[in-house]
């Protein structure tokens, strides 16, 4: 099995910065995805990391440390529409994406 | 471009009935997947197909079957539905099975088995 650990819930203020952490243990490693999922909707792709370091994409950045089994998603200049669940999904050496239970982020005015 | 479509959007089903959830993609993706999402458990892989004509079992395959007769369609069948199969079902597709191949999700089917 795969162990993926993310905080269950987080709250942050509009305009602020929030970091969502994810630790994982997988049998083999073939990259890590972050997805965003609004309530009642499908997950949508945010980022992919396969090498150590930071990948920046607009207001969203994602970091990976393979040796530590650790990733984080950084959201800057938070907007109300960023209220959603954020899913960490490491990929093992085969085909499978292994999804964490997700972090529910609430952005408040 | 529609991407991935799923039907029905939602369904209430009596236990013991047979049900097929439909999934179609127009991106010519080779790989397709079925997940179920339950509160507190996250997304779990049911079955997958890495190319037309082949299928494989995921984490929670029992009670479900799939077929992949062509590239575009990947139906999921519940032969005899049980209440524990009440869930939201997502179909996804990716270009292939390479590490960087992103999975794109359909809008989901909300299934209730009574």
Residue A73 CB neighbours (<10 A): 25
Whether residue B103 lies within 8 A of chain A, CB to CB, comes out as: yes
Q: Does A97 have pLDDT greater than 70? A: yes
CA-based nearest residue to A66, from A48, A53, A55: A53
Over residues A5-33, the pLDDT tens digits come to 999 999 999 999 999 999 999 878 889 99
Over residues A54-82, the pLDDT tens digits come to 999 999 999 999 999 999 999 999 999 99
Give the per-residue pLDDT at A1.
45
- Contact call for A43 and B43, based on CB within 8 A: yes
Q: What average pLDDT does range B54-71 have in this prediction?
A: 96
CA-based nearest residue to A5, from A69, A49, A55: A69
Q: Does B74 have pLDDT greater than 70? A: yes
Residue B36 CB neighbours (<10 A): 24
Q: How confident is the model at residue B1 (pLDDT cuts 50, 70, 90)?
A: low
- Contact call for B90 and A101, based on CB within 8 A: no
Q: Does B99 have pLDDT greater than 80? A: no
- Contact call for B42 and A96, based on CB within 8 A: no
Question: Position of tokens 């162990």?
Answer: A3
């Amino acid at each position: 099995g795969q162990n993926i650990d993310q905080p269950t819930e987080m709250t942050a203020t509009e305009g602020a910065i929030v970091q969502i952490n994810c630790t994982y243990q997988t049998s083999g490693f073939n990259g890590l995805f972050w997805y965003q999922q609004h309530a009642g909707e499908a997950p949508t792709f945010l980022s992919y990391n396969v090498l150590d370091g930071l990948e920046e994409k607009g207001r969203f950045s994602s970091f990976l440390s393979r040796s530590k089994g650790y990733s984080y998603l950084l959201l800057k200049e938070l907007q109300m529409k960023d209220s959603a669940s954020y899913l960490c999904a490491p990929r093992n050496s085969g085909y499978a994406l292994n999804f964490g239970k997700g972090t529910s982020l609430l952005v408040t005015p | 471009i529609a991407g991935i479509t799923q039907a029905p959007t939602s369904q209430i089903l009596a236990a013991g009935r047979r049900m097929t959830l439909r999934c179609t993609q127009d991106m010519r993706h080779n790989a397709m997947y079925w997940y179920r999402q339950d509160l507190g458990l996250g997304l779990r892989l049911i079955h997958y197909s890495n190319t037309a004509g082949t299928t494989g079992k995921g984490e929670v395959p029992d009670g479900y079957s799939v077929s992949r007769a062509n590239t575009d369609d990947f139906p999921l069948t519940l032969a005899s539905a049980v209440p524990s199969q009440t869930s939201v079902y997502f179909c996804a597709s990716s270009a292939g099975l390479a590490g960087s191949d992103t999975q794109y999700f359909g809008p989901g089917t909300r299934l209730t088995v009574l």
